[in-house]
Amino acid sequence: MNSSSAPSPLTTPSQVEPPAENNLWTVDDVARYARCSVRHVTTLREQGLPYRKLGHLVRFSPEAVKRWFEDA
């Protein structure tokens, strides 16, 4: 049996650790927070979810993401 800390493919959203609060979030972090797909995060960006471009990378402020979801 593998004792790695990575979630198994059968892990439910409630079993996944929330993203770290003190760093900018990735698309995966936002998807985990919102319990949605990475593809849906792209749709949310198009609908106004605030994000930052760092070169070719997309990052999110945890506070801005939470505020956006509260106001939505």
Residue at 33 is within a domain:
yes
Residue at 16 is within a domain:
no
* Exposed e or buried b per residue across 19-52, where buried means at least 16 C-beta atoms within 10 angstroms of its C-beta: beeeebbbbebbbbbeeeeeeebeebeeeebebe
Residues spanned by the domain of 33: 21-71
| pTM flag (> 0.85) | no
Residue at 3 is within a domain:
no
Whole-number Å distance between alpha carbons of 33 and 65 = 9
Residue at 61 is within a domain:
yes
Which token pair is 36? 């949605």
Residue at 13 is within a domain:
no
Radius of gyration of the chain (CA): 13
Q: Name the domain count of the chain.
A: 1
CA angle 24, 27, 29 (to 5 degrees): 65
Q: Work out the pLDDT band at 15, boundaries 50, 70, 90.
A: low
Percent of the chain with pLDDT over 90: 67
Could you report the per-residue pLDDT of 20-44, keeping only the tens digit for each? 667 999 999 999 999 999 999 999 9
Residue at 14 is within a domain:
no
pLDDT of residue 72: 84
